[in-house]
Amino acid sequence: MVMKMTVTKALLLALTVGVACADVDPAQLSGPWRTSAMASDNLEMILKDGPFQMLFREMECNEECNALNVFFYVKKNKVCTPHRVVAQKNADGIYTTDFEGQTSFQFHEVDPVRQIIFINNMGSKGKTSRLSFFVVKLRIVNDDPPEDYARLTEQNGIPRKYIRRVADTGEASAASRLTQR
C-alpha cells in the first residue's frame, strides 16, 4: 500500500514537471500576488469552506529561491484566516511544504506579472488532489485567465469545467477588505 502511494505521487509529480517551469526568477516571484482563478480535480478542495480556497497575497524568495515564504488567506465559515507556509525547493525545482497534508507545487511563468501554480496535495487520509492557481502581480484582480491557463490546467489532469474565477465567487472583495484594515 505504501509503495502504491509513492508510485502515484511520483507519477503526479512527473506530470507536473512536464507542464511547469523549474526555474523561477526570485526578483519576479517575490512581492504581492492575487489569486485570479483556481481549479482542482477534487472540487471540494476549492469550493466554499474548502481547504485550498486560497487567496494568495505575497511570496518571498531567498536569493536563489530555494526557500519560499507564501502568505495567503483561506475562507472557512465566512472567516478569512491568514496562513504562512515555508516551502523548500528540491533538486527537481519542486517546492514542498506541509499544508493540509503533504503539498508540492511548481510555477509556470506566463509573463513577469502572471504565474500558474500547479499543486499536488496528498491529504492526511491518503487522497491525492491536483490543483492549479492563476495568480497576478496586481492590486486588483480583473485579469481573465488566459487560454494557456485552461490548456495547461487540462494537461495537468484537471477538467476545464472545474476552473473557478475568484472574481465570480466574491472572495476577492472579502479578502481585499480584510487586508485593507
Q: How far apart are CA 163 and CA 146, in angstroms?
A: 12
Q: For the chain, how long is the longest CA-to-CA vector?
A: 48
What is the pTM (predicted TM-score) of this model?
Answer: 0.78
In this predicted structure, the answer to whether residue 173 has a pLDDT above a threshold of 70 is: no
Higher pLDDT residue, 151 or 175?
A: 151
Extents of the domains making up the chain: 26-179
Q: With bands split at pLDDT 50, 70 and 90, how would you rate the model's confidence at 26? A: low
What pLDDT, on the 0 to 100 scale, is given for residue 100? Answer: 94
Domain 26-179 in CATH 2.40.128.20: yes
Measured between alpha carbons, how far is 166 from 144 in angstroms, rounded to an integer?
10
Q: Band of the pLDDT at 86, cuts 50, 70, 90? A: very high
pLDDT at position 101 over 90: yes
Task: Kindly report the backbone phi and psi dihedral angles of residue 14, in degrees, each rounded to the nearest multiple of 5, phi listed first.
Answer: -65, -40
**What would the grid cell of residue 107 be?**
510555477
Mean pLDDT of the chain: 79
* Predicted local distance difference test score (pLDDT) of residue 42: 94
Say if residue 175's pLDDT is above 70: no
Which residues are CB-neighbours of 170 under 8 A, at least 6 positions away?
none
Q: What angle do CA 180, 84, 156 make, to 5 degrees?
A: 105
